[in-house]
Amino acid sequence: MSLLTAEQIGKKFGGVVALNDVSLTVEKGEIVGMIGPNGSGKTTFINNLSGLYAPTAGRFVFNGEDITGYPAHEITAKGISRTFQNLRIFPNISVLENILIGLHCRIPVSLWDVYARIMKTRKIEKQAGEKAMAVLEIAGLAGRHQTLAKNLPYGKQRLLEICRAIVSDPHLLLLDEPCAGMNPVEMDDLADFIRVLQEKGITVFVIEHNMRFIMSVAQRLIVLENGSKFREGTPDQIQKDKEVQAIYLGEEGDI
């Protein structure tokens, strides 16, 4: 059974068809990429999957459960985390505090616990801090845990956002153009980090415009055009596809 199955997903905004009959699967442990020009429906697909929108047709099945139309917080609790195209860290609090925010859906502390079960609350806080530091260690940010997030270099801020998404131990991580604004060195660091996440058992679904990056990190690519699935295959197959070259990647030899 696939970790994620999207069955004939459709989304309309008034008379505009943003997604049309998009079907795909994501297997556990894969790194899957989705490419396509602006307006092809990539971010709309992730927004429907992550609960920001509800599809107008089709369904999403995750871990054998139909999660179509669930609100975003329930999708997160089910084990799907995401980042956004525009950086969404909390700039004026520390790196560690940013990560702890990502644990809110996994911390079983009520207001009653805070006031009446102090020892339990302190134990949970300690465990949360240890978990957050372990995630920062993977990204090479543990030594900067007290740094204000806004004082990190841009590439590290992007890594911080991903760390916040993975601290809740998701089964599936959705990345919406994580390379936006990065230089080549930062992109290479990000690619290495994504491979580490895969080794740790996290399945990754990436939307990206940067062809060098997505071709190097994805094991399988899905190409969208005008809201519909146009092609699917390995990076090598997509690179050699004449129609994909013409529409998305330029003439042969540009990659």
26-75 per-position pLDDT tens digit: 999 999 999 998 889 999 999 999 999 999 999 999 999 999 999 999 99
12-34 per-position pLDDT tens digit: 999 999 999 999 999 999 999 99
pLDDT at 130: 85
pLDDT at 81: 95
pLDDT at 143: 94
76-98 per-position pLDDT tens digit: 999 999 999 888 899 999 999 99
130-184 per-position pLDDT tens digit: 889 999 999 999 999 999 999 999 999 999 999 999 998 999 999 999 998 899 9
pLDDT at 117: 55
Q: What band does 249 get if pLDDT is binned at 50, 70 and 90?
A: low
Return the beta strands (E) in the chain as ranges: 4-13, 16-26, 31-35, 57-62, 65-66, 80-82, 172-176, 203-207, 220-225, 228-233
What are the residue boundaries of the structural domains of the chain, listed by start?
4-249
Q: What band does 252 get if pLDDT is binned at 50, 70 and 90?
A: very low
pLDDT at 105: 53
Laid out side by side, the sheet with 220-225 consists of: 80-82, 172-176, 203-207, 31-35, 220-225, 228-233
Q: Has this prediction a pTM greater than 0.85? A: yes
The architecture (CATH level 2) of 4-249 comes to 3-Layer(aba) Sandwich (3.40)
Apex 227 CA angle, 35 and 22, nearest 5: 90
| Mean pLDDT, residues 183-209 taken together | 95
